[in-house]
Structure 1
Amino acid sequence: MTNDGVYRNPVLNADWSDPDAIRVGGDFYMTASSFHRVPGLPLLRSRDLVHWTLIGHALDRLAPEADFRTPQRGGGVWAPAIRHHAGRYWIVYPDPDRGLFVTSAEHPEDQWTRPHLLKGGKGLIDPCPLWADDGSAYLVHGWAKSRSGICNRLTVHRMSEDAAELLDEGTVAIDGDALPGYRTLEGPKFYQRDGWYWIFAPAGGVAEGWQSVFRSRDPFGPYEGRIVLEQGDTDVNGPHQGAWVTTEDGSDWFLHFQDRGPFGRVVHLQPMRWSEDGWPEIGDRGTPVATGNVPVPGGTATEPPEDFADGIGPQWSWQANPEPHWAAAGPRLRLACVDTGTADLRHLPNLLGRRLPGDPCRVTTALRLDGAEPGARAGLAVVGETYAWIGLERHENGIALVHRTADDGVEADAAHAIAVDDRPVTLGVDVDAEGRCRFFTGTPPRPVGPPFQATAGAWVGAALGLFAIGNGRDGTGEFDAVRISAHNGSADGR
């Protein structure tokens, strides 16, 4: 990521969708969309805006409990905003099917408050609060057409100083339908500078959009705007939706995402400066930069543990609210062969997943299927709208190594089953730069089945997943550490 004080984009090459960030003292904090994954609202910390450490989550579980017992793919926690005010950290986030919620904590690593509904309704998305210099408070949000029938507009509310309630019905401050060429105006972030109210907002859609900035002397408008970041002649498609942050020495930076399909929305860092006429200039004259000088020298990041000796690390999340009997950790991970009523890994609540790295990699673990009845299975998977997995399955006459792929949830054998004895079996997958996956077993690795092309999920990148399925009465899949290393070979074995 860095070399002699130079960083290379993306600074977070995995699915940290819709990033928002702030600086408090010498530390930067980031959160991002988590959608249906539990725990939700990831929290990352950095000293230099380049090296980021995942320190936890603001949401232990998703509510209401009954709804999130099963994976709500495409729902859950959409684009949040994080702020620091009155000695507390605040996150306002949307659930597009329920409304806008707020949670807070004295420190990001503390227990966050139970989410409070700030505004109920369908299709309310992308909220961001602003505590203004004069003591007043506001909230801006967007709209999801899929739920509300409305999109391409931004609504501003007055908000109580304690973020407990909104004080008016809201005003459409920016109407994208009135702006030539605009579509899907969303993701607003609210700021104040030099007597102006600023709304940074993307438009144009996830894969092909751009970043705009709007300003007004009044929080409710009228606003004037301009496009400040777009792809141009670079290979960074749709560069938009993120956060303006300022270092302690006064330099300005912009964090945004790029949609990379099966790898999700990866995070880039752009320099930002102010023009003579008072508008922000981002990147290289409005297009993304590939490299730059690290904003604050000396930053480092701590990687979460690969093993399960001290529990399940923060890089892992479930597809729904977990039950206590699903997993036990230390020194290995034991996943119970649970019967949840489905074998479709996309809708399996007890699939334990993590973000697929955006760089070519090799993923390895060792698995033992213990005490299971016929039909039980456990394995390592790559899960998006389609999925594939390699693992062990209990048959009437013993345990077999199997490899299967699925389109629309219908599984097909990708390789002949191989009988194995009752011992840990090494499993792995190589992932190349295009998201092609080659599953393998053994040491040295022996490819199993043909390459599989990873695909994105519902608003998320593909996940690396561990799972166990059975009759719910007995049996466990025991996983060793999941090790991820750089891998320069192609996924087709060449």
Structure 2
Amino acid sequence: MVEARFTNPVIAGMHPDPSVCRVGDDYYLACSSFEYFPGVPVFHSRDLIHWEQIGNALDRPGQLTIPDSTPSSGGVYAPTLRHHDGRFWLITTNVAPGGGTMIVTATDPAGPWSDPIPVPGIGIDPDLAWDDEGRCWCTSAGIRQCRIDPWSGQPFGTPEPIWSGSPGALAPEAPHLYRIGEHWYLMIAEGGTERGHAVSIARGPAPDGPFEPCPANPILSHRGTGRRIQNTGHADLVTAPDGSWWMVLLGVRSGGGTPGWHVLGRETFLAPVTWGDDGWPVVGELETDLPEPAWIVDAPRVPPGCDDFDLPDLHPRWISVRSRPDGCWSTTERPGWLTLHARGGSLDEPGITFVGRRQQHPSCRARTLIDSGHGHGGLAVRLDERHHYEIETHNHSVRVIARIGSVRHVVATRPAPAGPVRLRVDIVAASPADGHPRQEPDVLRLGIEDIGGGFEQLAELDGRYLSTEVAGGFTGRVIGMYAAEGTARFDWFDYEAL
């Protein structure tokens, strides 16, 4: 093993419910996407540490419909990604009105993926596993299972309960079924996806059991500890070419005082796994400064911080709220600019024209150059319709707006400079040295920037109101550009860690 180290999370920002598979020397991973379109980001890695997004499994309206009536934190939940018989299989659930559980397949995980195959009668968190006879088993939340035909989606019978998890544990969910040696292992999440989250496991002689629980359950949980990574759960296992085992899982990095707010959403973490003499898995540490696996490859592939919108299509990291109709955006209408045409009147509305990327660092800076003409739009930090901050150009002025629950307030305003305007948001995490119980997790400073980089701050806002602990739900912050009236054009967008 080499001397270098790696740190968690391995995929930062809102990338929860990770599911992973290996094909040869390549790893592929998929995550939940909730109310954002396109859905289910897909990543590639050669070492489980450095991940590059190569596409989205649900990237066209024919695959994914999320109506405006879908509440935030609705949409696409908990995919399972597997490779079987030369093909990639992904099963997930769209909990939006008119949705349901579906399977899509591809020969190339970067896409294109097939049109969805509906799987009726199957709940959220579905898993796929094939036995030695080629039969496909589908297990879902509540730890219910039946066999299905994955090509047609047709279940064989009604899903039946196969294990209830730990006695009295809340919300048994996120099952994954594996054949390892002579046993079938069934790994689940339980305890709820908040501070009580945990991973437990059982094993049995057949895919449908009967299952005996591991005596050391939960095999992973950070509940009741002072560890910086909390809410650990919803895990998946993978083995490397050298025979070592690894777990990907979700967790959060909380900051500030009590109760500890997390603002980036649930992120993807990595932990080593060993197997005891009794045949049960033992999960290693996932805190910072873990040894790198021996097959570590080159330097991290960090997404470019600046996008000049010179290509006809957007990079797969860009996401929109619920949908992105062709007529509402373009990078060719004014070449080299992202043109957005308004659909909704503000970020309070579910149909806002918005293009953003996940916030991935506790301290970061986002900037853009906007030409709003006779319309208005700007730069926003969004958690949901009721929790967002933005700086926008509006009627020859620049203004900062805060939406916190039922309150919408124009915090600051000033005349707009002549010509296109550089809008900027600095997000600065709280110092861990400040132990006050009411310490905010971070502050957001919104203002305008001159061509030389000078910054005029118009407002400083408390970050706790854009946190899951305040707003609720399953998502994290997304930073991006929007049009609220008429047309807004953006020459570039720059994101950098501070």
1:150-198, CA deviations, whole angstroms, 9 ceiling, x for partnerless residues?
xxx200111226463221212100124xx32411111111111112111
1:101-141, CA deviations, whole angstroms, 9 ceiling, x for partnerless residues?
100011112211101111247xx100000011232220100
- Other-structure match for 2:356: 353
Matches of 2:346 and 2:426, distance apart in 1: 24
Q: Does 1:279 align with 2:276?
A: no
Offset of 1:72 from its aligned partner?
A: 4.1
- Other-structure match for 1:452: 462
Pair 1:38–1:339, CA change in 2 (3 A): closer
Residues 283 and 289, structure 1, Cα contact 8 Å, conserved in 2: no
Matches of 2:382 and 2:70, distance apart in 1: 13
Residues 135 and 161, structure 1, Cα contact 8 Å, conserved in 2: no
- Other-structure match for 2:206: 218
Residues 65 and 323, structure 2, Cα contact 8 Å, conserved in 1: no
Q: 1:256 aligns with which of 239, 249, 257?
A: 249
- Other-structure match for 1:147: none
1:194-205, aligned counterparts within 5 Å? 194-205=181-192
Q: Does 1:291 align with 2:280?
A: no
- Other-structure match for 1:150: none
| Structure 2 residue runs without a partner (length 5+) | 254-261, 430-440
Q: Does 1:464 align with 2:445?
A: no
1:18-67, CA deviations, whole angstroms, 9 ceiling, x for partnerless residues?
11111111111010001111111111001111111011111123568775
- Other-structure match for 1:228: 219
Give the SS at the match of 1:190: strand
Matches of 1:199 and 1:125, distance apart in 2: 16
Give the SS at the match of 1:104: strand
Matches of 1:351 and 1:49, distance apart in 2: 32
- Other-structure match for 1:365: 368
- Other-structure match for 1:113: 114
Moved more, 263-272 or 321-330: 321-330
- Other-structure match for 2:438: none
Q: Does 1:480 align with 2:491?
A: yes
Offset of 1:233 from its aligned partner?
A: 4.7
Residues 63 and 116, structure 2, Cα contact 8 Å, conserved in 1: no
Residues 6 and 49, structure 2, Cα contact 8 Å, conserved in 1: yes
Offset of 1:8 from its aligned partner?
A: 0.7
1:314-348, CA deviations, whole angstroms, 9 ceiling, x for partnerless residues?
11111122222211114121112x243x4244623
Matches of 1:346 and 1:12, distance apart in 2: 30
Matches of 2:459 and 2:89, distance apart in 1: 48
- Other-structure match for 2:323: 321
- Other-structure match for 2:437: none
Pair 1:422–1:328, CA change in 2 (3 A): farther
- Other-structure match for 1:334: 339
Cα RMSD (Å) of the superposition?
A: 2.1
Q: 1:441 aligns with which of 448, 461, 467?
A: 448
Pair 1:234–1:362, CA change in 2 (3 A): same
Pair 1:478–1:400, CA change in 2 (3 A): same
Pair 1:161–1:413, CA change in 2 (3 A): closer
- Other-structure match for 1:45: 44
Matches of 2:417 and 2:10, distance apart in 1: 43
Pair 1:278–1:207, CA change in 2 (3 A): same
Matches of 2:20 and 2:495, distance apart in 1: 27
Residues 35 and 66, structure 2, Cα contact 8 Å, conserved in 1: no
Identity %: 26
Pair 1:4–1:307, CA change in 2 (3 A): farther
Matches of 1:63 and 1:71, distance apart in 2: 17
- Other-structure match for 2:153: 164
- Other-structure match for 2:388: 387
Pair 1:67–1:51, CA change in 2 (3 A): closer
Pair 1:49–1:468, CA change in 2 (3 A): same
Offset of 1:355 from its aligned partner?
A: 0.7
Give the SS at the match of 1:325: helix
Moved more, 223-232 or 70-79: 70-79
1:307 corresponds to which letter in structure 2? Answer: D
Pair 1:104–1:431, CA change in 2 (3 A): same
- Other-structure match for 1:424: 420
Matches of 2:92 and 2:211, distance apart in 1: 24
Matches of 1:106 and 1:344, distance apart in 2: 38
1:346-401, CA deviations, whole angstroms, 9 ceiling, x for partnerless residues?
6234222211123311111111112x2xxx3201011114111001002xxxx111
Residues 68 and 351, structure 2, Cα contact 8 Å, conserved in 1: no
Matches of 1:60 and 1:161, distance apart in 2: 21
Pair 1:410–1:9, CA change in 2 (3 A): same
1:125-140, aligned counterparts within 5 Å? 125-140=124-139
Matches of 2:66 and 2:11, distance apart in 1: 31
Residues 62 and 68, structure 1, Cα contact 8 Å, conserved in 2: no
- Other-structure match for 1:491: none
Matches of 1:105 and 1:48, distance apart in 2: 22
- Other-structure match for 1:401: 398
**Number of positions where the alignment pairs a residue of Structure 1 with one of Structure 2:** 453
1:215 corresponds to which letter in structure 2? Answer: R
Offset of 1:429 from its aligned partner?
A: 0.8
Q: 2:170 aligns with which of 176, 183, 186?
A: 183
Pair 1:60–1:155, CA change in 2 (3 A): same
- Other-structure match for 1:145: none
| Structure 1 residue runs without a partner (length 5+) | 143-152, 488-494
Give the SS at the match of 1:379: strand
Moved more, 82-91 or 133-142: 133-142
Residues 346 and 409, structure 1, Cα contact 8 Å, conserved in 2: no
Give the SS at the match of 2:37: coil
Matches of 1:127 and 1:355, distance apart in 2: 25
TM-score w.r.t. length of structure 1: 0.87
Residues 377 and 469, structure 1, Cα contact 8 Å, conserved in 2: yes
2:290 corresponds to which letter in structure 1? Answer: G
Offset of 1:218 from its aligned partner?
A: 2.1
Residues 32 and 76, structure 2, Cα contact 8 Å, conserved in 1: yes
Offset of 1:297 from its aligned partner?
A: 1.4
Matches of 2:71 and 2:62, distance apart in 1: 11
Offset of 1:239 from its aligned partner?
A: 1.2
